[in-house]
């Protein structure tokens, strides 16, 4: 794989800076997840993880459809020819609600106020309710249920909400997205089983014709080691005959399908610390700064040096890999040991395909964007 990437990178003009997305990895990842999930599971790729048109197009084909959370993502999903679309998010506008309904998307409704707005728009539809459950059976980086959040309807308020569903709207399922970056496959399987059990019980109590249990996304990626989450426990989940289990993976499908590569523009040691200064940084790849971890890289040596001035080289040194922004927070990696690094070499960051470019503050300092290469 690295050969493939290196060849593509060498073709770029210097200073080199690029995102590379590999559609074969997207397909493999989807196939692995599909093989691990029980019958009657539907996979909808969560577009917010990576909205690159080639990524969306590939996953619209490989998955059963797409999960979107804005009018912009809805437009991308329609353009990609998604067979099914689910539309969620706590702050949908009237325009978005109308556009999603026109597109035939299934809505995850997040508040009683949103129900009344739908009714006022004259929308008649089968819908799911997003619930913020009382307990949270999962651990991960962003817990969204069992705790105060803007997402969904508090489980305690559900009886009142269900007693007052406006005319024309019919609740057929629950949306229970709970966590991000869970690395424990057995815990995720327990979460899915619990989501199905809770939904079945709740539907029975309130006489709801339950068809859908949407357990959202949250399957994780170990950024430091790259060790994959063990998906085998997912096959132990039983989805009853009359139900559909929807999963909305984002990170799991795209993280490993993307690399961020950036050229070392300068090397310097100040106050005892060595910095590799990059043609790029957190305005392209914000995830390490946003989450406060150090993202490991590999060095791609570039042997040509066409310049009249000497090439800077360091040996056997820990380096901080920092970006081109004028802020000390523009750090991708802290203290990674390199055996040999020169100006003009590239640092390659794997696992950059999810929440990489898409969550970054591209216009801060107005540097050139990276090149985007789809393999
Ligand atoms: C972000 C999000 C996802 C995707 O989460 P991942 O952790 O990337 O799998 C799925 N569903 C909803 C509602 C989300 O907000």
Tens-digit pLDDT profile for residues 20-58: 999 999 999 999 999 999 999 999 999 999 999 999 999
Using alpha carbons, select from 321, 322, 316 the residue that is nearest to residue 338.
316
Contact 17, 323 (CB under 8 A): no
Tell me 229's DSSP state: P
The protein residue with its alpha carbon nearest to ligand 1, atom 2, reads: 217
For residue 331, cis peptide bond before it (omega within 30 degrees of 0): no
pLDDT in tens, 251-294: 999 999 999 999 999 999 999 999 999 999 999 999 999 999 99
Average pLDDT over residues 352-371: 96
Quick one: pLDDT at residue 335?
97
| Interacting residues of 358 by C-beta distance below 8 A, sequence separation 6+ | 48, 49, 50, 51
Answer yes or no: is pLDDT of 331 > 70. yes
**Which atom of ligand 1 is nearest to 217's Cα?**
9
Residue 142: predicted pLDDT: 56
Q: Coil, helix or strand for 172?
A: strand
Number of Cβ atoms within 10 Å of the Cβ of 243? 18
pLDDT at position 2 is 77
Question: What separation in Å is there between the alpha carbon of 47 and the centre of ligand 1?
Answer: 9
At 116 the pLDDT is: 96
What tokens were used for 340?
């040999």
| 8 CA → ligand 1 middle, Å | 31
- Looking at ligand 1, which atom is closest to the CA of residue 140? 7
Residues 6 or more apart from 288 whose CB is under 8 A from it? Answer: 223, 282, 294, 295, 331, 332, 333
CA-nearest residue, atom 12 of ligand 1: 216
Task: End-to-end CA distance of the chain: give it in Å, rounded.
Answer: 10
Give the alpha-carbon dihedral of 357, 329, 150, 252, to 10 degrees.
40
Mapped onto helix, strand or coil, the DSSP state of residue 153 is strand
Catalytic residue check, 326: yes
> 41 vs 64, 233, 306, CA distance in Å?
10, 14, 55
Residue pLDDT, tens place only, 78-125? 999 999 999 999 999 999 999 999 999 999 999 999 999 999 999 999
Tokens of 112: 């009683």
- Out of 213, 218, 220, 231, give the residue to mutate to test ligand 1, the one with the largest number of ligand atoms within 8 Å of its CB: 218
Q: What is the CA(251)–ligand 1 centre distance, in A?
A: 8
Per-residue model confidence as pLDDT tens digits over 135-148: 766 665 556 667 78
Rg (CA), the chain: 23
CATH numbers and ranges of domains, the chain: 2-19+256-374 (2.40.37.10), 23-253 (3.20.20.10)
| C-alpha 217 to ligand 1 mean position (Å) | 4
> Atom 10 (ligand 1): residue with closest C-alpha?
217
Mutate to test the pocket of ligand 1, among 29, 45, 48 (most ligand atoms within 8 A of CB): 48
Residues in the chain: 375
Instruction: Give residue ranges with CB within 6 A of ligand 1.
Output: 46, 48-49, 67, 88, 177, 180, 216-219, 248-252
Q: Residue 341 burial (CB < 10 Å; 0-12/13-18/19+)?
A: buried
* Whether 259 contacts 348, CB under 8 Å: yes
Q: Which two tokens stand for residue 207?
A: 């006489």
Pocket probe mutation, ligand 1, options 180, 183, 221, 353, max atoms within 8 Å of Cβ: 180
160 CA → ligand 1 middle, Å: 27
**% of the chain at pLDDT higher than 90:** 93
Is there a contact between 111 and 191 (Cβ–Cβ < 8 Å)? no
**Beta-carbon count within 10 A of 7 CB:** 10
Digit-coded pLDDT (tens) for 159-171: 999 999 999 999 9
Nearest CA, atom 5, ligand 1: 217
Contacts of 260 (CB under 8 A, 6+ apart): 18, 19, 280, 284, 285, 348, 349, 352, 356, 357, 370
Q: How far, in Å, CA of 211 to CA of 374, rounded?
A: 38
Q: Report the SS3 class of residue 103.
A: coil
Q: Please tell me the predicted confidence (pLDDT) of residue 138.
A: 67
- Ligand 1 centroid – CA 353 distance (Å): 14
Catalytic position from the list 17, 63, 128, 326:
326
Confidence class for position 179, pLDDT limits 50, 70, 90: confident
Q: Return the structure tokens found at 19.
A: 């995102």
Q: For 209-235, how does the pLDDT look when each residue is reduced to its tens digit (9 = 90+)?
A: 999 999 999 999 999 999 999 999 999
CA 105 to chain centre: 20
* CA neighbours closer than 13 Å in the CB half-sphere of residue 6: 10
Atom of ligand 1 nearest to the CA of 175: 13
For Cα atoms 114, 115, 121, give the angle at the middle one, nearest 5 degrees. Answer: 85
Model pTM? 0.95
What are 3's strand-pairing partners? none
Strands (DSSP E) along the chain, which ranges?
17-21, 41-46, 65-68, 85-87, 106-109, 125-132, 153-154, 169-175, 212-214, 244-247, 258-270, 273-278, 298-300, 313-322, 331-342, 346-349, 371-374
């Amino acid at each position: 794989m690295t050969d493939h990437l290196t060849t593509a990178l060498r073709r770029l003009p210097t200073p080199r800076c690029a995102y590379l997305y590999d559609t074969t990895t997207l397909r493999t990842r989807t196939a692995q997840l599909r093989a691990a999930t029980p019958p009657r599971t539907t996979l909808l790729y969560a577009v917010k993880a990576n909205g690159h048109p080639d990524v969306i197009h590939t996953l619209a084909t490989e998955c059963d459809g797409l999960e979107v959370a804005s009018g912009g993502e809805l437009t991308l999903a329609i353009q990609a020819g998604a067979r099914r679309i689910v539309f969620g998010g706590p702050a949908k506008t009237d325009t978005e609600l109308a556009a999603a309904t026109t597109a035939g998307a299934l809505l995850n409704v997040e508040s009683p106020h949103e129900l009344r707005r739908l009714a006022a728009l004259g929308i008649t539809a089968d819908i799911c309710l997003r619930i913020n459950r009382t307990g949270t059976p999962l651990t991960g980086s962003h817990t969204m249920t069992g705790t105060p959040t803007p997402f969904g309807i508090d489980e305690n308020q559900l009886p009142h909400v269900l007693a007052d569903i406006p005319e024309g709207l019919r609740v057929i399922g629950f949306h229970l997205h709970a966590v991000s970056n869970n690395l424990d496959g057995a815990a995720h399987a327990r979460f899915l089983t619990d989501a199905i059990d809770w939904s079945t019980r709740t539907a029975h109590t309130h006489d709801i014709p339950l068809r859908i249990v949407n357990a959202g996304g949250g399957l994780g990626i170990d950024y430091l080691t790259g060790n994959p989450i063990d998906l085998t426990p997912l096959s132990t989940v039983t989805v009853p005959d009359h139900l559909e289990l929807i999963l909305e993976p984002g990170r799991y499908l795209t993280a490993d399908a993307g690399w961020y590569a950036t050229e070392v523009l300068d090397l310097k040691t100040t106050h005892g610390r060595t910095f590799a200064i990059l043609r790029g940084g957190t305005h392209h790849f914000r995830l390490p700064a946003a989450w406060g971890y150090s993202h490991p890289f590999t060095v791609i040596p570039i042997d040509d040096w066409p310049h009249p001035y000497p090439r800077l080289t360091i040996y056997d040194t820990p380096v901080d890999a920092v970006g081109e922004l004028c802020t000390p927070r523009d750090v991708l990696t802290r203290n990674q040991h390199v055996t040999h690094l020169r100006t003009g070499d590239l640092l390659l960051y794997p696992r950059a395909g999810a929440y990489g470019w898409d969550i970054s503050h591209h216009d801060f300092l107005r540097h050139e964007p990276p090149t985007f290469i789809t393999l």
